[in-house]
Structures are given as C-alpha cells and as structure tokens.
Amino acid sequence: MIWRRYNPGVLCKISSQPTFTSHGFATARAGDHDTIIFSEHISLESFPSCSDYFGREVVCRADQTATVLAFLGRPYRISFTAGWEYDVYEVLVDKSICQIFARNLVELMTPAEKTDRG
C-alpha cells in the first residue's frame, strides 16, 4: 500500500518557499512578488532532469488555496524512502489544473480538526 499525505478533495495552501527539496532538486520556479510557478505536468519518468516540467505554467501566490484532485505518485528515480516531499499531486488552483510536489502544499484544517489532532 502506498501512503498518501493528501487525499482527493483536501484543501491546501500553496507554500512558495522553498522551491527545492531537502536534496536540492527543484520543485517549482520562484516568481516575482512571492509567487511560485508550477507546470501543468511533471515527468515522473525523468525527474530529476533538465526537462521535467512541461505544459501550461500556473502562477500562484503564497498561501493561495488549492484543492487536491489526485495523488499521481512519486518520480520513478526517487526511492520511496526519500520522503513525502517527492509525492506529486494534481491540484486545482484558481480554475487551473497543475501538478505540484507535496513539498509545496500545506493542508488547511478547520479549528475543530486542529483541536482533534492536538
């Protein structure tokens, strides 16, 4: 069984910092004025390489709300022991669909959920 950090339908906020993993691999591009640029697709087959991101670019603001649509997996070259930050999700952000590494998502919780989780 593959563990998923976020399930479909979960609301998250966009984290614009950092734009790289703990191992130094890029997860997105930094934009102007605390924005971050995601791509429509991330190549799970080739990451990490120089041509991992393709399709339309989606510019997001820090703390912008996103809805998780699907868990897509982890790049094939990345071991599952490397950590959750490499998990890739398809998300809906301001009427645009893009793919985002878990590193750049933070789950939003209601006050009741925060109390329940301690």
User: How does pLDDT run across 95-113, given as a tens digit for each residue?
Assistant: 999 999 998 999 987 555 5
Strands (E), 1-118: 11-14, 29-30, 35-42, 53-61, 65-73, 88-93, 96-101, 105-107
Report the SS3 class of residue 111: helix
Conformation bin of residue 24: beta by default, left when phi > 0, alpha when psi is -120 to 50? left
DSSP code for 95: T
Q: Tokens standing for 16? A: 């614009």
pLDDT tens-place string over residues 10-26: 999 998 877 888 888 88
